[in-house]
Chains A and B, each alone.
Chain A
Amino acid sequence: MVPGIIAVVDDDEAIRVALRSLLRSMGHEVRLFADAFSFLAEATLRPPDCVLTDIQMPGMNGLDLQREIRRTMPGLPVIVITAFPEEAIRRQAMADGALCFLSKPFETAAILHWLAEALGERK
């Protein structure tokens, strides 16, 4: 897989730390954000190649973030990861153009598969 720049948006620090280690072990560059606003502030200047975002976050939630990305950075692939998988939320995320919708705890193979897809799309 071609290494890329992956942004992780999750209010849970343990998840951010774990994803950073996993994604770096695959050779990716990782940028961590505890909330949607700090991600948007930076991504408009230095867009990543793919975003992994949580749904339940204080301030702006993952679904709103996804819509904002669709509006301002239409080509950016979004992988949604939630600890609280609800069918209605999944449908909403997919309708808004999420690449995929994963539940925590997620399997690494799934992340790998969708990242490959996302970074392949980039070409």
Chain B
Amino acid sequence: MEQLSPASTLTDAFHGLGISVWTEDWRAVGQAILALRAAGIDPVQHLATAPGELARLHATVQVTDVNNFTLELMGMPDKRMLIGSLAEVVPNSAQTFARWFAALARGDRFYRFESRVRRLDGSLRDCLVMARLPQDPEGLARLFVCVVDITGYKADQMRLTEAERAVDRALRASAMGLVTAAIAHEVNNPLAAVVTNAEAALRWLRRPNPDTVEAEAAIVAAIGDALRARDVVDRTRALLSNAPPRPVALDPHHAIRDAAQFVQRELRLAEATLRLEVMADTPRLLADPVQVQQILTNLLLNAAQALVAHDGLREIALRARPHAAGVLIEVADSGAGIPPDRLLRVFEPFYSTRTDGIGLGLAICRTAAEAQGGRIWVSGAPGSGACFHVLLPAAP
């Protein structure tokens, strides 16, 4: 059997591996970067304002060699079609040249980016382009660029993402079946009360001696019931909508002030005071405003509920502050707190300690927080009140 030398094995690998390898000469670019730096000019900023200069430098890059697989990748019959000025043999490279230039100017050790490569027949391939960037100018005489075709992998990833989305939608839909049943229950009760009160009012008025006091009481009750039905719809609208969250940069002051306004009535009923606090340096949130309102109003309503029958201090704090992973919003109440064995269960759907609750508020909060890429948890021992923590991403 023929003994292969390590060098010839590597040469075989160079041509035989299904990876495209290019050797390129970037010396002129390296020299330009050094010259700009020597003149006290930031090379990246300079190039950003001088597009002609970028094109001129691009033209200086020379492709000196490619391996055999490169011909296959590019769909080209002859190596000579790829030797020469990079700008000429790969016109498409103009789009990524600024990225290369910036990586070199920053002194990056590696260049690793995805690019779309145009073959001779015009078709496009998704590729991962990698190079180790030499730190010395001489090393730039022979820059090795490696190009891996990831078109199939990308397509698989897309299909996988699509499949995951479909599964997610199906899961949401089946959860929605349960949720809509609960909502139907929640809405049908006040609706029944509206109809019954209105009928009662008619009957009080149609008596031979109309009883306007009874009729008025029934109409007032009907209005309250109708508003309750509206509230249920309002609070579940964000959950029911199939629209993906539309994250925007939100001022934390606005977010918590808006939520506070939404629950003024409930706070009055609970005779609770609400303190708002935004710590200095709290960044803006990156989240869907409707869903943030959903989360915060639900938590505030829960806090108000916890205080309704509470003896002692009735205070709720709504705070926003910076956190390593974004913005932390906290809703803390001075109520009876949550027993330790219930802390984990409170986010489960249909888990409610109230006889008038459907046990969806906190489940909705969790779904909404997770849809923003955030999370929600609760702390607090009996006697010290409950504190809900919502961690949401910060806007860049």
Residue B192 contacts which of A13, A24, A26, A104 (CB distance < 8 angstroms)? A104
Give the distance in Å from the alpha carbon of A14 to the alpha carbon of B200 in the complex: 13
A103: chain B residues at CB < 8 Å are: 188
Interface residues in B170-205 by Cβ distance below 8 A to A read 181, 184-186, 188-197, 199-201, 203-204
Instruction: Flag whether A117 is at the interface (Cβ < 8 A).
Output: no
Do A83 and B192 touch (CB < 8 A)? yes
Which of A15-23, A36-44, A64-72, A91-99 is the contact stretch?
A15-23
Do A21 and B214 touch (CB < 8 A)? yes
Interface residues in A1-30 by Cβ distance below 8 A to B read 11-15, 17-19, 21-22, 24-26
Interface of A is mostly: mixed
Instruction: Flag whether B150 is at the interface (Cβ < 8 A).
Output: no
Do A104 and B204 touch (CB < 8 A)? no
Q: Which residue of A lies closest to B228 (CB)?
A: A14
Do B185 and A15 touch (CB < 8 A)? no
Assign chain B's interface to a size class: 20 to 34
Do B193 and A25 touch (CB < 8 A)? no
A-B contact count (CB 8 A): 86
Q: Which residue of A lies closest to B190 (CB)?
A: A14
Do B221 and A21 touch (CB < 8 A)? yes
A19: chain B residues at CB < 8 Å are: 196
Instruction: Flag whether B152 is at the interface (Cβ < 8 A).
Output: no
| Nearest-Cβ distance from residue B308 to partner chain A, whole angstroms | 13
| Nearest-Cβ distance from residue B217 to partner chain A, whole angstroms | 7
| Nearest-Cβ distance from residue A51 to partner chain B, whole angstroms | 17
Instruction: Flag whether B288 is at the interface (Cβ < 8 A).
Output: no
Q: A residues near B, CB below 8 A?
A: 11-15, 17-19, 21-22, 24-26, 56, 58, 81, 83-84, 103-108
Q: B residues near A, CB below 8 A?
A: 181, 184-186, 188-197, 199-201, 203-204, 207, 211, 214, 217-218, 221-222, 224-225, 228, 355-356
